[in-house]
Amino acid sequence: MELNIEEIVDQFSEKLLRYADSILCNRQDAEDVVQEVFMTAHQNGGRFDGRHLSAWLYKMTYNSSIDKIRKRRILPFAEVPGQRVSVTSKSLILREEVVHVGFDQRFAKLNLVRRAYQKKGESLMKQSNLCEKWQALIATENQKPYMQALKQQLLAEYNSRTVYPPHTEIMKALEVTPFDQVKVVILGQDPYHGPGQAHGLSFSVLNGNRTPPSLLNIFKELSDDLGVSRPTETDLTPWAKQGVLLLNTTLTVLAGAPMSHANLGWEIFTDEILKAIDNQLENVVFILWGSHAQKKIRFINPDKHLIIKSTHPSPLSAHRGFFGSKPFSKTNDYLKSKNILPVNWQLK
């Protein structure tokens, strides 16, 4: 009788999940173990190595429930913490049952990896602490082919390369600024591509990093425009918490490779965000610096909103129209004219 490889691995996956669940007594932790197993297999060219599987289970279960594992003696683990697990056969022992997993390259041709960490893929675009309207927008986009392809690409790259920002902060702009509180949109291009900089807000950098040149120029214009001192902190979260949506048109980037994710599909998603703001809100100020951001004017109704545009604050263009453009005072003047609380732009 010919074996159905996909069915065998499906059964194996379920046994592995039941086993991890019984040891950890926590379904979420068990699912995380299984995802790690399949990710390791994916990075190993699609091969499922019994040594990898046992090592993962040993690593994930040892610290949390060593007494239970020793008592049940299900895994052939070492008695000394941190000692390498030695499994000579190409198999994994599950409740005294040996499930053989071959090294055949046929596994690489199946969609097993995609199913195995589908849940993690969903987490890239789903944050429980987003407001209902942002969640609804994301749920709609998640059904579209471009977003499904985007998530698969991101999963592969987050698990094999360095990508910024951390995957938990991809939606930071939407998380910090709820939909109904948006009163200003500052549109950026893509995240900073150096370590420890990007954290999901356009132009913003985590405190403790060197201030990027564009942000330095933004602070210079802020000081000249409002007569305030130039900030020393680079984290713009205080603006975001006041209703300033700091949105990049592309939400991720490979380390050291600016615009590397520019054509993955993020622009479609962020265009939908701009359309939703334009259609459902009124009297929003859109600050568009540079030609890239100004291409989005087609999504904004000037009869409902204020559009402020100038050259980009980059050192290459700031002297050609950004300096002296007074975007901060213009924004507050407009908001006050609509009886909307102005933004306190002062940072520490």
Q: Annotated active-site positions, please? A: 190
The SS3 call for residue 340 is coil
Contact 171, 177 (CB under 8 A): no
- Rounded distance between C-alpha atoms, residue 123 and residue 346, angstroms: 34
- Rounded distance between C-alpha atoms, residue 246 and residue 29, angstroms: 34
Contact 318, 312 (CB under 8 A): yes
- Rounded distance between C-alpha atoms, residue 34 and residue 188, angstroms: 38
Q: State the Cα torsion 193-194-197-201 to the nearest 10°.
A: 0
Q: What is the DSSP string of 198-231?
A: --SSTT---TTSPPPHHHHHHHHHHHHHH-PPPP
Neighbours of 23 (CB within 10 A): 21
The SS3 call for residue 126 is coil
Interacting residues of 94 by C-beta distance below 8 A, sequence separation 6+: 15, 16, 19, 74
Q: Which two tokens stand for residue 72?
A: 């049940």
Contact 85, 54 (CB under 8 A): yes
Query: For the purposes of burial, counting CB atoms within 10 Å of the CB of 34, is it exposed (0-12), middle (13-18) or buried (19 or more)?
Result: buried
Cα Rg of the chain, angstroms = 25
